[in-house]
Amino acid sequence: AVGGGTGSGLGALILERIAVDYRKKSKIGFEIYPAPNISTCIVEPYNAMLSTHWLLDHTGVSVVLDNEAIYAICQKQLDTDRPSYKELNMVIAKVISSMTASLRFDGELNVDLGEFQTNLVPFPRLHFMTTALAPVISKKKAGHEAQTVREITDHAFQPQNMLVKYADFDPVEDKYMAISINYRGKIMSKEANATVQWLKQNNKISFVEWCPTGFKIGLNAVPAALVGGDLMAPANQNVTMIGNNVAVSRVFTERINKKYDMMYGQRAFVHWYVGEGMEEGEFSEAREDLGFLEKDYLDVVTEQASDEVGGDEEF
């Protein structure tokens, strides 16, 4: 959890130690970012700002999640009015399980963890992923839902199924830099490839102009296991989408930067951080870094993608 004190502070420290001891290993992080309207902590913008500054350097791939989106999935699709954290975690666990399935089972097209980084991160700093899961349906509805490969793949690209809340997601303007689709269950590569072609032809998604192929497909023969107390109906075929979409920059600008600027303008709560041994300079350094990140995402869409950050650039 990037907004809380333990998640952001201890998490950043552990990442730093891992970076020193295991330089070559690819590090994949799953981060709960502050949600647009639900907040459990007043100093969330500070914690999120400081830890994102660390994540830029210390993780290879960061999967961005938020509680509000997962609450909405549980309430609307799984018919649970008041989901517990355990139930929210089960949704996240399904995504993590699909990403790591290749380590546990053989498949026709296995994707190991290193390949996520290689295929999804075009520039080291732009490694924040949007993810979605399908089919997410309650046991009551399972009998009358079509669960063809095409259908579940289409669902995985709907903004309401994403584990990050994008209020105004636009499939044309919000472009992908790369997408990894991981299928589990009896799905042939021919079928998976045909589905990807169908997505492209029907303009379900749009890519940045400099990335013509865009898709990485993973196939794994073993569907997700049944877990006791799971809200989701079991499915013979399921799909997890992990995409590098430019819309994630709005998570930083609207949820962190704006709120941070309001609070830091008054230097509110800063004395607690300084009292623990931090310096005020670290705040402005982190804010500057996120300003550059914002600019990097803009550059990607306007095709001047550069990973060089000049010290004298303004944002």
Cα distances from 122 to residues 126, 149, 216, 235, 289, in angstroms, run 7, 28, 13, 33, 19
Residue 249: exposure state from Cβ atoms within 10 A (0-12, 13-18, ≥19):
buried
Burial 11-38 (b: 16+ CB within 10 A, else e): bbeebeeeeeeeeeebbbbbbbbbbbee
Q: Which residues does 263 contact at the CB level (< 8 Å), separation at least 6? A: 43, 45, 46, 269
Q: Which residue in the list 44, 68, 87, 115 is annotated as catalytic?
A: 115
Is 68 a catalytic site residue? Answer: no
Residues classed as catalytic:
115
